[in-house]
Chains A and B, each alone.
Chain A
């Protein structure tokens, strides 16, 4: 399987602080990669380097074999790298269609003036929600009236309209009710089945173990482990996160959820 996104030897320092040191990470089409690590391990910095918000001091980043190291965030987005932030960046008083098409509303011309084509917007938004298999109470209601998981589906639907190749999700299940977590994990599996590469940043190791193919563990800015999910265990992941110490007790705690 050839890789979609390849990060090789990426390093980044803020002044004297080495945040990332020679990190490698790859994502293949239809692969879900978990990115875990303690607070301050460098997860966010690494993702900001992927989306182009920060530039790395050293290393290479390629998308479909093309070097994107010097591309701007906008160019990378057009090339298919989408990030869904933890706060979702939704306008909560606007409806689903308005949020999905925010900033690029389809228009139609009436008497030489351009008006927002609400029928098209609504139809396309509904089609995207259906494609995701997400369940929303109504498409024409303000998204602020939705639950956390439903809002997450709107944010994912919006990301999908950009026809992304790689979707980065930052803590998508962190603030959700237990029964909603499965719904969001199903959405991630849906992205995977469409051949989209997914990077999942999460502290909820149970979710990471249940939905990912591989898990990359960052520790003090280094890729401390690159584990195949099917062949690893909670104990191994937790041990890598805390730096190789045997943490059977902590792992047991995590496993209990």
Chain B
């Protein structure tokens, strides 16, 4: 068994490889995505004089917070070998449920906040139950939920935006303690917790193992069905949180909120190094991916590019990211 490891042959590993392995092992970030982010930011800074400013930086983070939370959900589901296409619709449904509970029922803010997240979790639970108990493929179940949740949001709101959330609730979306927008604080806090959960706990390790080789995980005594059920419920709850951030920021429950956000969220997760087919994923990587999407959208806005083109750009980036990922998998793996 002689070693055919390329990193152990010839010259000492170069700086790129060393940095790469440290980043991957310690922080689970792919070096390529950091480079893409830097190149993108530099390009934008050259093209637009408004790009490099503290207020614009906050704008980017604020715009990224909703997508970022959805991308965290996408990371968990994808790396467990699943798929959740209902992220954006469930986010819209949750925002409407929260606004309806707060405005139409006049419930106090804490109740409305819990209701928002619970609505998302419930949708996720339904996804998980149908996938694990009825054995319908995740692609179909969550595609169905994409339609059901969006329709339900329109039914509950009667197709109209629900305005006038209570002040305390709006603070979650518009408050700025120490000048930092509340959604950014909530987004970063969520990311830290979810990163630790994925990278450093048995739950996280099992999530990756299930996505990697379901049979191996089952042989190792992991309860796959229960784990998947938790993952989809978690994904729904995070979509609910994204709905809460969005609704409180625009001070209304909009039934069309989050339309096509699943596209951006899944793209961000994959740019960040999540394997589309499961087994690999990291929240820090996804944060970089979400920032790339945020900078891209912000830059295109500053350059006054029509939003129709932005949609095309995101779609193209998704396909490109998966192409690069698959190319690397083919290069690295001998299986």
Binding site for B on A (CB under 8 A): 85, 87, 89-94, 98-99, 102-105, 107, 113-116, 118, 134-135, 137-138, 140, 142, 144-147, 149-150, 179-180, 183
Contact = CB atoms under 8 A, between A and B. Distances in A.
B1 A144 contact: no
Given A102-B217, A103-B221, A94 B212 contact: yes
Nearest to A153: B1
Interface residues of B, number: 32
B277 to A, nearest CB: 10
State the majority secondary structure of interface residues on A: loop
A150 B2 CA distance: 10
Interface of B: 1-5, 8, 25, 196, 200-202, 204-206, 208-209, 212-213, 215-217, 219-222, 275, 279-280, 332-335
Contacts, number: 91
Given A138-B5, A140-B25, 9 more contacts: A92-B212, A94-B209, A102-B216, A107-B202, A116-B201, A145-B332, A147-B334, A149-B1, A179-B1
Contacts of A183: 1
A138 B6 CA distance: 12
Contacts of B215: 87, 89
A135 B3 CA distance: 8
Nearest to B218: A89
B335 A92 contact: yes
B331 to A, nearest CB: 10
Given A94-B212, A102-B217, A147-B334, A114 B202 contact: yes
A144 B213 CA distance: 11
Nearest to B196: A115
A147 B208 CA distance: 22
A91 B202 contact: no
A94 B201 CA distance: 15
Nearest to B219: A89
B135 to A, nearest CB: 22
Given A91-B217, A92-B213, A137-B8, A103 B206 contact: yes
Nearest to A143: B335
A137 B5 contact: yes
Nearest to A121: B205
A52 to B, nearest CB: 14
Contacts of B209: 91, 94, 98, 102-103
20 contacts: A85-B219, A89-B216, A89-B219, A91-B217, A92-B212, A93-B280, A94-B212, A98-B208, A98-B209, A102-B209, A102-B220, A103-B206, A104-B220, A107-B202, A115-B196, A116-B204, A140-B25, A145-B332, A146-B334, A179-B1
A179 B209 CA distance: 30
B1 A103 contact: no
Contacts of A99: 216
